Structure 1
Amino acid sequence: MKFKFLLITLFICVASFSQNKGTVSGTITDKDLNDEVLPFANVMIKGTTIGMSTDMDGKYSLNVAAGNHILQISFVGYESVEVPFTVKANETTTVNQSIGSGSVKLEDIVITNNVNRQKEASLLIEQKNAVEIKQNIGAQELSRKGVGDVASAVAKTSGISKQEGSNNVFVRGLGDRYNSTSINGLPIPSNDPEKKNIALDLFSTDIVEYISIDKVYNVRNFGDFAGGNVDITSKDYKGKGMFEISLGSKINSNAIDKQNDFLLQRGPRTTGFVSYGVPKDPLTSFSFENSLTPTKEAPFGGNISLKAGESFEIGEEGKLNLFATASFDSGFEQREGLNQSLNAQGATLKSFQQERFSYKTNTTGMFNANYRINSDHKIGYNFLFVNSSDQSRDTYFGEDRDFDNSEADLLVQRATFIQNTIMINQLLGNHKLTDKLGLDWGASFNTVKGDMPDRTQNKMFYTRDTQAYTLVQRTVTDNHRYFQNLTEDELAANLSLTYKLGDNENGDSKGKITAGYNGRFKKRDFEAIQFNFGLTQEAQQIAVDPNGLDVIFNQQNYGDLFTTSSFAGMTPQTYSGEQNIHAGFANLEYKLSQKLSGVFGVRYEKVEQSVEWRTQLDGDGGTNTFDRNEFLPSLILKYELNEKQNLRFAASKTYTLPQFKERAPFLYEDITEVKFGNPYLYPSQDYNLDLKWEMFPKAEELISVTVFGKYIVDPINEITLASSTNDISWVNIGDQGYVLGAEFEIRKNIFKIDSELTNKLSAGLNASYMKTHQDIDSEKVRLDTEGTLNVNITDTESSFTGASDLILNADLSYARNWSTDAGFIATVAYSHYSDRLYALGVEQKGNLVDKGMGTLDFIFKTKITKNLGIDLAARNILNPEFKRVQENATETLPAVSYKRGVVFGLGINYQF
């Protein structure tokens, strides 16, 4: 009886309590976008922790106590709004509210959207609503994952990996030649004579608003595309005046362990800038500027960054947004391990223990000005300057069959300094000519300078009995100094007109037609000269200190112990390239039904490329040209399964051009390989298919599955030729190749407490699995090159070089605020790739394969106050061993191995 009485009492209390509550609900809309619904706006009951974010349709619903309240509504980049309301018990009060950006009027629509594109949630909205297949990474996600450069950023997305030890990014199994890079929709040139694309790690994420990765072709892009296009949208600051300074330091565990022996070449400044180059008269005297004696360094890196922004109202409608940033970053690395080459029977041809000390810098400066003239017209200017340097000193200790000596080991020392400078100038415009007609245009002038000012190499025997080093020479190139310079200028232009088609019964446009022109005109000049030191017999018998070779190579000993020589005297080896592309395109985006939309496009390109050279392989010089007409259709379809799910399909045809250096017979000698170009190389043709399903369960959440295929006619590949020296060149290796794969991505909030203060645990996972195949036809290579090149590949088919069957990226983030201005976010990020082909086997040797490995990073960012923040990071925590093996028929043998070390970083930032 007592128990029944207690239950009745509790029921009455609960019922009475619930009767004292009511509901407030409604829809939040965007005043600046004609009252379109505003997803992810923050809605709070003032003075309480009751709140939530609006859903995809801008809707919210909150349970509150009966009585008078104030509803607080806010959104990034908008003015906060407070709305009083009264709610009665057991009743629902509707409060619909439109919010905007205050002084930012209708003409700021694009600006507001650009700000929001920094946010993960906003980018997901754009991805959901777009007819085209998009994948974007915003500044918010880059910060959360602690990503410092664009290369690392794109490697966090599904189907993309970065090759160990290089700047190569592989998109769906396709390497550098199949991809493209742009900034604000305009193409940019490469900084490396061997590469088509600029090294993405040159670009600090400080300059990035968001990064768009197009793995599906659109006719607005240039047709030299098969893997993907990476477009970097530079920051566009809006808001009140801002000035921020950041300072940081970082160390590499390997470098710290070797700090007492950390030696680098003399000459380059710690800033990464140099002013020296080819000496005036090195063939008659020893006039080289830099000493061969290395300098000891304290391997502690650091960085400094300055940012400033301001907005100005001009007249009744005009607004000028200014943003500038300047930064310097430096870091030291050390690695050591095995580096060897073997024959088909497993006997060593070269076997070294390699040790590398390196120092890298990156200096970045950016300025942009965006001026909104009025509601219909906007123009912008963007300037970007990047200077990067890579200073490395390698020592190889072991044996080489060409230096056979049973009593001694071979020591090879090579010191290399590379400086790359990029200047990008862009002028952009957006104009609304009528209610239906719009004009977008852009023009750029870019300059790239890539220098290798004074690379040095020396070879020595270490006699075990006497423990003495002596210089050694088998060919005149064994001891040398090398100078290289590249300059490339490029003009590019975009022009497009967009016309909105007739409205449907709801007043919405049924679609739009876009037609336009793209032009790209670049010219490259490359020259290199190598001064070889011819040693006398006396010079090869003098005991030397490997770190004190100035006692031999100096003016006093010139002519007595050594002489210098070069190809064609002081005339450098040269090649120049010119490429002109004129393109016209038309694109129709149309809503075929309530659920089905499509984009139908066609593009025509006239491609002209010419290369002219004079090298040691062809002292008389030569030229090579081709002129092609490319017709490139594309189709994209989107079917809306329901409000939260889309099904997409895409098909296109593209092509792949050979690069300048690949078609010039220029000889480049490395320690373990020699490369030269093939004038007979010609473009590949590419056919692409994609099918994608995606679902957006809640704000900030995504689940997607994609299957894709690519068919490539006459694929281009880097191979080792059948020759006594195993030279490397580029050829159209077979009639066809293909890529088949699937991608999976999920982003999920594990828990999220709706309150005024953030308290959220979120996770992300993306994975791709693919199979690649290419035919290998030695006879095709012989016929294509008119018998000048011969190959003897071990197999008749293979996978694509650089392609991993499995690529995996995962992250877990926890964000917590203890006040509106202070809090932290901690992220653990893991990346993994499976085994991938590095180089094809020749002369019955097995393929070289990079074994799969994973990396783990931890990033901790905190705001102590509104102005002060502290960041901590530990990267490559697992410190896995990189292994490259040679898979011979009888056994698998190690070829390369090393560990990079763990990198620890600490930073502090203050915003005034």
Structure 2
Amino acid sequence: MNFKHAVLSLMLVIGSVFSAFAQTTGSVRLTVVDDKTGETLIGATVMIEGTSKGTITDFDGIATLNNINAGTYNVRVSYISYQTTVISDVKVEAGKAEELTVHLKPADLEINEVVITAKAAKNSENALLTLQRKSPKLFDAITADQFSRIGVSDAAGALKKVTGVTITSGKYVFVRGLGDRYSKSVLNGSDVPSLDPNKNSVQLDLFPTNLIDNIIVYKTFTPDLPGDFTGGLVDITTKDFPTSFNLTFSAGLEYNPQANFNSDFLAPKGSSTDFLGYDNGFRALPKEIAQYSASDFPDPYLNKSEITSVSRAFKNRQFNPGKASQFLNHSFSFSVGDQVKLFGKPLGYIFGLSYNRKYSNYTDGVQNSYEGISEGQTTLNRDIHMATTEHKSDDEVLLGAMFNTSYKFNNNNKIGLSLMTNQSGTNDARYQDGYLLDANPDSTTHLQNRAITYTQRAFRNGQLRGEHVFPHLNNLNVKWSNSFTISSIKQPDTRMIRNQYTINQQGDTLYYMGNLDRPSRFYRDLKEINNSSKLDFTLPAKLFGGRDSKIKFGGLYTYKNREFRENIYQYNIQSNKNFDGDISVFFQDQNLGYVDGTLKNYLMMINIDGNNFDAYQRLFAGYAMIESPIAKKLNLTAGVRMEKTDMELRAFNDSTGTIKTNDLLPSIALTYNINDKTNIRASANRTLARPSFREFAPLATYDFFGGYIQNGNPDLKRTLVNNFDLRWEKYPSPGEYLSASLFYKKFFNPIENAQLPRAGGSTSQFQFKNVDKSTLYGAEIEIRKNLGSFTEALKNFRVSANYTYVYSYVNVTPEELVAIRAWNPGASDTRPMYDQAPYTFNASLSYDNPEKGWESTLSYNVSGKRLIVYQIDLPSIYLQPMPEMNFTLKKNLSKRCSLMFKAKNILDNTYKEQITLGDNVYYTTKYQQGRTYAISFSYNLSK
């Protein structure tokens, strides 16, 4: 509490200091753009009539006029070959910056002057819709003002509202139903690595919305974008610095009855720094054990003192998570920014901090696996070693910080630096209780599973960038950037234990632990370094009959290096196999190592060389393209990108995988402007998808709870995809939008995760592999409408909705078809693509009354069932739809303060992984997440 009080006091002091230095003058900041193309104009003249104040726009199209006495003025904007525009009634207030966007119309034969009333461009959603209308690229977006309206705290939550986008596991993006392999995420245009060893795309819950300006989802490829996306490219843009001093603070509390103040919450012991998202060494491997490798680990019969020492080395011997009531979910965010003068030139900066701690819990979960079936079988039998009920608790912390700065040497040159760090820690505890060997619920042989996992994720990114305009070279624009990222994921001391118990006729419970599944401790460590350098040139030119055009060219170099290490330690159970139910008895000193000359339970090191690997990927890319009108209303974007891939993985068992390819990725897109508000877009291009290092690695990992083995495949090839898109779009008025799209994709060598044949009761195994071809096609529709156009009574209401339909199929291989038709003779020879959702639907109804200070949004989203486990000796497993409805209500208490209430997951949806056989439904995983109620307060101090 002292720390929190100190932070609050510091904020109040800062606010008081800046308030004390209130100015008597204000400023005006204009962004000047071409009304036809939406491009910013360099060198436009801006004058305040009746004064000597004037300047020209820089290469961002921005002109800033400072030290203007408070009052109302007319501002004149002029530029050669454009109509001069006068903005009337621009109100300048002391200590404030008035921000305007001015659209200049190209001059016809006669130069005219246009007079308009000043209107500040404060609605960033409208600004992005304008950019979307003018852009040669096909994209959808969500902006910072929408984050607040819908009440989301991270990028993953925000993207749920974007057309055709689905978020899985609370962090992974799916675009147009395609899984993470076919989606890509970048930060400020630069590559960022995934922090999940099993995924390609970055975990989007790592990016708090208070640090984000907007998120753009590109649906089609153009040569100036990375070539390794097919569903969509998610570009997260961090906040830019403000034009004047701005300080914001917010704090929030959330309550979920399943998790908060619940005495049944599983809470294993942790370190004193867990609340900051990292372990301080509490879970570290003891030095007595760390000195040994698997080859020289003490022999239990030859090294008696050593085996006793290592067996007793762990100080934390908790395998059974305790229970403790947890506080409310809580979050804090703070940011401060300003624009100042350094050597007479503008220097802008923004610094932001965010903290979020969230608890989740369920006690009624279901976890099952099933045996393979034969022809004519109408019911399933549960597999051995699989529990049926689950209790799971999570304690998740996310701490983020960002610093952005930019310095303009003059109107033609600027450089910028962005630094971001995110730290995340998740304490996960599970307890399962079920039946062993017998599918009969009346069986007296029971199974108990317990697991304690701590996952620590770290993300450190630095970006240095520059932009330069060369007027003597026809305003050649040069942009460059270098992004360096260090990321890591650690799982120190994951503990798993399994035991059996029976209940005899007298009602006594008899416990037993054997060596079929020994108590285990896992140490996993993934480190990745990612360095990405970009250089882009844009040269204005006259093409196709002297029309204003652009020639673009540039290159990219990316280097990734990943190290993955896994050490496994298991206890060989020699004594106390029959116990009284207290599993801690196995790990007491008197039962570890040698006691009175007798070997008791002892520690072993299991080393699987194939599960440890080093990998790298080098990518060289170059591109050339044009953007040009080729007729009065027809615009062309065309070019080609070349990507050279050098990818190699080497496991410690000397197994290797290599991909070396040179790929040409052509692209052509046409935009037909029916009028100023309506476009028709068509595009065709080729993209690719590379396997992740995990898919590429020769790992064979056992899922303790799923009861199956997942295999990698070093022989994987990259996937090539041909893409075709057609979209009609209309922008009836500011903030309104209508669109309808069709798309078609053909995949060559797509990567699928499929079951391998198994014999008898052996453990089910899966492996990533290439299949010959697959096909996907679908349609999208979207509407955003202000209801005030129907009646004045609804002027503060707006509705938005989007729907995406996707159909995909893969040809089943002959070997798989034989195995499937052994129990299902009528099985189809095609199936859906792995991890592909057949539809997504989003809708929201919003109310905004700025006069009364009220804002409210009711939102709903859902996606169709998707194939998540493809099986050949059983019906496949599908993740079922999970409709989600949320409500937010915001009240602006003053110009600086606001209060917000949220109700999340109002429908209390159920997570269900399901097998269907005839009329029978079987769940492999099932649980409810619970409803959450939240309240937050925000404060804004700005000049």
- TM-score category by the smaller chain? 0.7 to 0.9
The change in CA–CA distance for 1:274 and 1:116 in structure 2 (over 3 A counts) is: farther
Q: Which residue of structure 1 aligns with residue 413 of structure 2? A: 377
Amino acid of the residue matched to residue 327 of structure 1? S
Alignment partner of 2:197 out of 172, 184, 193: 193
Does the aligned pair in 2 maintain the 1:734–1:780 contact within 8 Å? no
CA offset at residue 776 of structure 1? Answer: 2.1
Does the aligned pair in 2 maintain the 1:707–1:743 contact within 8 Å? yes
The change in CA–CA distance for 1:167 and 1:590 in structure 2 (over 3 A counts) is: same
Q: Which residue of structure 1 aligns with residue 934 of structure 2? A: 905
Q: Which residue of structure 2 aligns with residue 564 of structure 1? A: 603
Does the aligned pair in 1 maintain the 2:387–2:449 contact within 8 Å? no
Please state whether the residue corresponding to 1:550 is helix, strand or coil. helix
Distance 1:387 1:719 in 2: 34
Please state whether the residue corresponding to 1:470 is helix, strand or coil. strand
Q: Which residue of structure 2 aligns with residue 138 of structure 1? A: 143
Q: How does 1:336-485 map to 2 (within 5 A)?
A: 336-343=364-371, 344=373, 345=377, 346-349=380-383, 350-401=386-437, 406-434=443-471, 435-465=474-504, 466-468=507-509, 470-475=511-516, 477-485=517-525
Distance 1:99 1:390 in 2: 54
Does the aligned pair in 2 maintain the 1:377–1:430 contact within 8 Å? yes
CA deviation vs aligned residue, 1:807-845 (integer Å, no higher than 9, x gap):
1100111111346xxx121110001122222221222x1
1:326 aligns with 2:353: yes
Does the aligned pair in 1 maintain the 2:137–2:218 contact within 8 Å? no
1:294 aligns with 2:329: no
Q: Which residue of structure 2 aligns with residue 494 of structure 1? A: 534
The change in CA–CA distance for 1:166 and 1:147 in structure 2 (over 3 A counts) is: closer
1:736 aligns with 2:739: no
Does the aligned pair in 2 maintain the 1:184–1:233 contact within 8 Å? yes
Query: What's the TM-score once normalised by structure 2's chain length?
Result: 0.80
CA offset at residue 563 of structure 1? Answer: 1.1
Does the aligned pair in 2 maintain the 1:641–1:647 contact within 8 Å? yes
CA offset at residue 676 of structure 1? Answer: 2.3
The change in CA–CA distance for 1:803 and 1:622 in structure 2 (over 3 A counts) is: closer
Amino acid of the residue matched to residue 897 of structure 1? K
CA offset at residue 848 of structure 1? Answer: 1.0
CA offset at residue 701 of structure 1? Answer: 0.2
CA deviation vs aligned residue, 1:565-589 (integer Å, no higher than 9, x gap):
12249x9951111000001100111
Distance 1:95 1:838 in 2: 58
The change in CA–CA distance for 1:37 and 1:125 in structure 2 (over 3 A counts) is: same
1:809 aligns with 2:848: no
1:278 aligns with 2:316: no
CA offset at residue 513 of structure 1? Answer: 0.4
Amino acid of the residue matched to residue 334 of structure 1? N
Does the aligned pair in 1 maintain the 2:544–2:630 contact within 8 Å? no
CA offset at residue 38 of structure 1? Answer: 13
Amino acid of the residue matched to residue 397 of structure 2? T
Distance 2:88 2:227 in 1: 43
Distance 2:672 2:741 in 1: 15
Alignment partner of 1:169 out of 163, 169, 173: 173
Does the aligned pair in 1 maintain the 2:99–2:121 contact within 8 Å? no
Alignment partner of 1:686 out of 712, 721, 745: 721
1:222 aligns with 2:226: yes
Does the aligned pair in 2 maintain the 1:371–1:379 contact within 8 Å? yes
Q: Which residue of structure 2 aligns with residue 147 of structure 1? A: 152
Does the aligned pair in 2 maintain the 1:365–1:384 contact within 8 Å? yes
Amino acid of the residue matched to residue 265 of structure 2? F
Alignment partner of 1:543 out of 569, 580, 583: 580
The change in CA–CA distance for 1:564 and 1:794 in structure 2 (over 3 A counts) is: farther
Distance 1:733 1:781 in 2: 16
Distance 2:622 2:102 in 1: 29
Does the aligned pair in 2 maintain the 1:81–1:99 contact within 8 Å? no
The change in CA–CA distance for 1:728 and 1:150 in structure 2 (over 3 A counts) is: farther
CA deviation vs aligned residue, 1:323-348 (integer Å, no higher than 9, x gap):
01111101111123221122334111
Distance 2:526 2:196 in 1: 8
Amino acid of the residue matched to residue 458 of structure 1? I
Does the aligned pair in 1 maintain the 2:33–2:101 contact within 8 Å? no
Distance 1:563 1:197 in 2: 41
Alignment partner of 1:309 out of 337, 344, 351: 337
Please state whether the residue corresponding to 1:266 is helix, strand or coil. coil
Q: Which residue of structure 1 aligns with residue 752 of structure 2? A: 717
Distance 1:800 1:101 in 2: 58
Distance 2:716 2:639 in 1: 29
CA offset at residue 496 of structure 1? Answer: 0.9
Q: Which residue of structure 2 aligns with residue 62 of structure 1? A: none
CA deviation vs aligned residue, 1:268-291 (integer Å, no higher than 9, x gap):
423321032222234633222424
Alignment partner of 2:87 out of 89, 92, 97: 97
Distance 1:81 1:739 in 2: 60
Does the aligned pair in 2 maintain the 1:657–1:684 contact within 8 Å? yes
Amino acid of the residue matched to residue 542 of structure 2? G
Give ranges in structure 2 of 5+ residues lacking alignment. 1-27, 39-61, 75-83, 104-119, 290-306, 594-598, 819-824
CA offset at residue 893 of structure 1? Answer: 2.7
Distance 1:849 1:107 in 2: 51
The change in CA–CA distance for 1:296 and 1:513 in structure 2 (over 3 A counts) is: same
Does the aligned pair in 2 maintain the 1:833–1:854 contact within 8 Å? yes
Query: What's the TM-score once normalised by structure 1's chain length?
Result: 0.83
Q: Which residue of structure 2 aligns with residue 630 of structure 1? A: 663
Distance 1:429 1:332 in 2: 42
The change in CA–CA distance for 1:95 and 1:425 in structure 2 (over 3 A counts) is: closer
CA offset at residue 37 of structure 1? Answer: 9.1
Q: How does 1:699-710 map to 2 (within 5 A)?
A: 699-710=734-745
The change in CA–CA distance for 1:593 and 1:743 in structure 2 (over 3 A counts) is: same
Distance 2:139 2:740 in 1: 13
Alignment partner of 1:600 out of 638, 644, 650: 638
Amino acid of the residue matched to residue 468 of structure 2? H
CA deviation vs aligned residue, 1:605-646 (integer Å, no higher than 9, x gap):
1100000112xxxxx432222211011001111000112110
Between stretches 855-864 and 395-404, larger displacement belongs to 395-404
Q: Which residue of structure 2 aligns with residue 87 of structure 1? A: none
Does the aligned pair in 2 maintain the 1:30–1:99 contact within 8 Å? no
Distance 1:34 1:668 in 2: 55
Distance 1:814 1:107 in 2: 25
CA offset at residue 351 of structure 1? Answer: 4.6
Please state whether the residue corresponding to 2:606 is helix, strand or coil. coil
Distance 1:893 1:550 in 2: 35
CA offset at residue 307 of structure 1? Answer: 0.9
The change in CA–CA distance for 1:664 and 1:794 in structure 2 (over 3 A counts) is: farther
1:771 aligns with 2:811: no
Q: Which residue of structure 1 aligns with residue 49 of structure 2? A: none
Using the aligned pairs only, state the percent identity.
25
Distance 2:467 2:794 in 1: 37
Q: Which residue of structure 2 aligns with residue 124 of structure 1? A: 129
Question: What value does the CA root-mean-square deviation take over the aligned residues?
Answer: 3.4
